[in-house]
Amino acid sequence: MSRPARLLAVRLMSAASRLLPARLSDWSRAMANELAAIADDRSALLFALGCLRAALSMAIAERFRSALYQLPTRSLAAMNSLSTRPRLLGLLCGVLAVGVGLAYLEAAGAPSRHLLVNFAALVLGATAWLALGRTAGSRLAGAGVAILALSVPLLLTARFGLAADGASRWVAIGPLTVQVSLILLPAMIILYARRPDPIGTAGIAAAAFALAIQPDRAMAGALAAALVAVALESRGRLPLLASAASVLAFAWTLVAPDTLAATAYVDSVLYTAFAVHPLAGAAVVAGAAALIVPAVIGLGRGMNDRPALLAFGACWSAVLAAAALGNYPTPLVGYGGSAVLGYLFSVALLPAAAREADARAPAAPVAAVRDPDPAPPELRAARPA
């Protein structure tokens, strides 16, 4: 046994035995006995190499089979974890919707500048999502002051913003024109839904007034829908006052004329995408529907923080409804960085990890899936009797 070839054969056989699963230990002993019975060192080395090759292929197959059996359980666990994190889920839905929108804009022949603006807004919004991480996880003390402060740009836009066909909703920032209400109002709604207070109620009333005089029917409708949902859920005096102010503002915008013409790649995208290709239209509709997925899943699982989830879902559902019914921006899947920023800002303020109402109930364990075959077919013939 001192010859180099024999020693190498023994080492190779030892390595092959370690690679085999524990359930094949009897076959491992059979290989070792067979090696000891071979008198010729060269034949023994070739036999050991063959055993090592077979053991290595079996070990790889075993690992792959084990990972394949565990994949459904791991995927289910990952989806379950994601469904309880509306803030992260909202970011992913926003990225998906913007990606679909970029594909549509490219297929529709939109100017490359449109794609660049939407992508830049996505990067900026994702950066804000990261920056607001710790704040979004807290109870947002002082949110009322922030809401009141954010209402000021809405009022200034109504008075000094860019006007078109009697509406004053936009502000010029260099070569870009942004719609202030689309950027700020969704975030204000989430802040108020999570922590309504007297100062925040005053800020919401000021925002409602600003939307009425701009006038901005779509965003006034979004504000009214979100605050009515919050008022019905919380049944507090302050949300009731805020919802009343928003409903009055929305009613005023319904009376005021709105004669803005449709803008290519911005308005009516839910319809014009089908003219590009039926699949493009279906993708755009699916991307738009993804915007309300965080609220739908969170509410469907019976999460706490219901006012914020209800407000988020009602706000963006109303924005989508306005885009389907009139000449209003189609958020994220159409051209417009304002909607991208507004969506991601509001997503950033959602609860980081919503708690299930029945979280104290122990979760049922997931049964492990076992390999029904105790030994690979190639080993059955070689297993000693």
Q: Let me know whether 92 and 67 are in one domain.
A: no
Question: What's the Cα-to-Cα distance from 315 to each of 15, 47, 70, 136, rounded to whole Å?
Answer: 63, 72, 39, 18
For the chain, how many structural domains are there in total? 2
Q: Let me know whether 149 and 33 are in one domain.
A: no
- Distance (Å, rounded) from C-alpha 84 to C-alpha 265? 34
375: in domain? no
Tell me whether the omega of the peptide bond preceding residue 215 falls within 30 degrees of 0, making it cis: yes
Q: Let me know whether 139 and 221 are in one domain.
A: yes
366: in domain? no
Q: Let me know whether 117 and 158 are in one domain.
A: yes
Q: Let me know whether 14 and 131 are in one domain.
A: no
368: in domain? no
pLDDT digits 0-9 by tens, 64-101 = 666 666 545 454 454 566 777 889 999 999 999 999 99
Instruction: Give the max Cα distance, the chain.
Output: 102
Last residue within a domain, chosen from 24, 43, 77: 77
pLDDT category of residue 180 using cuts at 50, 70 and 90: very high
Q: Let me know whether 218 and 306 are in one domain.
A: yes
239: in domain? yes
38: in domain? yes
Last residue within a domain, chosen from 37, 55, 77: 77
Taking the alpha carbons at both ends of the chain, their separation in whole angstroms is: 28
Look up the domain containing 252 and give its range. 84-348
Q: Let me know whether 271 and 239 are in one domain.
A: yes
377: in domain? no
Pairing mode, strands 167-173 and 162-164: antiparallel
How many other CB atoms sit within 10 Å of the CB of residue 359?
Answer: 13
Starting from the edge strand earliest in sequence, which strands make up the sheet with 176-179, in order? 162-164, 167-173, 176-179
pLDDT exceeds 60 at position 377: no
Contact of 22 with 57, CB cutoff 8 Å:
no
The whole model's pTM is what?
A: 0.73
Q: Let me know whether 277 and 140 are in one domain.
A: yes
pLDDT digits 0-9 by tens, 266-297 = 999 999 999 999 999 999 999 999 999 999 99
288: in domain? yes
Query: What are residue 175's phi and psi, to 5 degrees?
Result: -80, -5
Q: Let me know whether 34 and 97 are in one domain.
A: no
Q: Let me know whether 144 and 259 are in one domain.
A: yes
Q: Point out the least confidently predicted range of 43-57, 228-242, 355-369.
A: 355-369
363: in domain? no
pLDDT digits 0-9 by tens, 323-364 = 999 999 999 999 999 999 999 999 999 887 655 444 444 444
What does the pLDDT average to over 310-330?
95
Q: Let me know whether 197 and 226 are in one domain.
A: yes
Q: Let me know whether 59 and 148 are in one domain.
A: no
Last residue within a domain, chosen from 18, 46, 77: 77
- Distance (Å, rounded) from C-alpha 23 to C-alpha 175? 70
